[in-house]
Amino acid sequence: MPAVNDDVAHLPVLLDRVLELLAPALTGADAVLIDATVGLGGHAEALLEANPSLRLIGLDRDPSALARSGERLAKYGDRVELVHAVYDRMPAVVADLGLSHVDGVLMDLGVSSMQLDRAERGFAYARDAPLDMRMDPSTGPTAADVLNTYSVADLARILRDYGEERFAGRIAKAVVAARAGAPFDRSERLVELLYDTVPAPSRRTGGHPAKRTFQALRIEVNAELEVLRTAVPSAIDLLREGGRIVVESYQSLEDRIVKRAFAAKASSRTPEGLPVELPGHGPELRLLTRGAEKAGERETEHNPRASSVRLRAAEKIGVAA
């Protein structure tokens, strides 16, 4: 395994803005923050440096990422607790550590640079590799399992819903026909099928024809949207009053879930027309960003991953009675 220093190309996205947004919640001597997708530990390291008394709980479903971040964050000793878990398990992890609330939550969503860079993980369509795509390679079905077992209708559904693929039905039929001859096991064969199936005019104007299909398969394999729908409200509930949550999304499906979850908690549930707010029906969140913030041109030039980021943040203003 390469040394952590080899990962200098992994740059935390919108790092200064993340630090700025979380800082007011982390000033206490016993402040606790959950980095729900700790990855290689870039955001976590900066947060620990900026907040000398901070205790950080880092979660990740990828054992390789945990090992790498463990090396990187070892110098912070018992200020860091790393847990192998999917981030929808935040409430259970916090309870296991004897806590009831935390002061901050950071979620940096999507596939990591390390996962993309390792061809054997199968996330990148630019290189031939096994069709795996599991963020935790120790459990669950692979992308090949999905391609080789799903019906035409189910394949079309995930390509349409998770990849926003215009030609979902056509691709699904082509996959099922092709697997009758031999099951799919490597990415190169799938990419070739997509080139043959997606019409040429769309290939010229819509980007790489494999991009949307690979995104859809990755989301399905890792149940990413289901996890996110559960995790965001749970994270908000874990925040103490004055606590803050920052979420970085990298595609519209993720951002839409975050936007709706924040809006629901930032809205009053008192019926319209009543002259006063009903107890326990007021907003629980104050939104800290106007819509979703994007990275600037300078950052995207140095860090291509930042080009698609959408950042949203909110502060807990009360606990419903």
Annotated binding site for S-adenosyl-L-methionine: 41-43, 60, 87, 108, 115
Task: Match 């935790």 to its residue by tokens.
Answer: 136
Nearest C-alpha neighbor of 111 from the set 33, 214, 206, 188? 214
> Strands of 32-35's sheet, edge to edge?
80-84, 55-60, 32-35, 102-108, 239-249, 310-316, 285-287
Which of 30, 28, 83 has its CA nearest to residue 61?
A: 83
Q: Which helix (H) or strand (E) holds 40?
A: none
Nearest to 167 by CA among 196, 199, 193, 143: 199
> What is the signed CA dihedral for 277, 280, 282, 285, rounded to 10 degrees?
160
For the chain, the C-alpha Rg in angstroms (whole number) is: 21
**Helix (H) or strand (E) segment spanning residue 213:** helix 211-222
Task: Please tell me the distance from the alpha carbon of residue 186 to that of residue 192, in angstroms, as a whole number.
Answer: 11
**Known binding positions:** 41-43, 60, 87, 108, 115
Contacts 24+ apart (CB under 8 A), 202-209: 202/166, 202/167, 206/166, 208/125
* Sign of CA pseudo-dihedral 195, 201, 204, 205: negative
Contact assessment for residue 82 and residue 69, using Cβ atoms and an 8 Å cutoff: yes
How far, in Å, CA of 134 to CA of 303, rounded? 24
